[in-house]
């Protein structure tokens, strides 16, 4: 996770949106349902909108190498 002015590629804004577990199994294994979701088909990203520095958006990487 990082703060950025651009959201593109393998990054999603941390704005509390729901994601499917089947399409994001590695991220679900890290986050679980700590921020919402039903835990069987979906989970939510954290909503960090209010915590982001001026003009920036917190983004979370949704693809990459996962051990």
Instruction: Please check whether residue 40 is in contact with residue 21, taking contact to mean a CB–CB distance below 8 angstroms.
Output: yes
Provide the pLDDT for residue 37: 97
Please give the Cα distance from 38 to 62 (Å, whole number): 19
For every one of its 67 residues, what pLDDT tens digit does the chain have, with 9 covering 90 and above? 667 666 677 888 899 999 999 999 999 999 999 999 999 999 999 999 898 888 888 888 888 776 5
pTM tops 0.75: yes
Query: 47, exposed or middle or buried, with CB in 10 Å at 0-12, 13-18, 19+?
Result: middle
Provide the pLDDT for residue 6: 64
Residues 6+ positions from 58 with CB-CB distance below 8 Å: 1, 2, 3, 13, 14, 48, 49, 51, 52
Provide the pLDDT for residue 33: 97
């Amino acid at each position: 996770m990082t703060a950025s002015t651009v959201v593109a590629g393998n990054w999603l804004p941390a704005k509390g949106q729901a994601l499917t577990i089947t399409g994001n199994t590695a991220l679900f294994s890290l986050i679980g349902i700590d921020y919402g979701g039903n835990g069987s088909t979906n989970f939510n990203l954290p909503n960090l909108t209010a915590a982001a520095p001026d003009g920036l958006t917190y983004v979370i990487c949704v693809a990459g190498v996962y051990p």
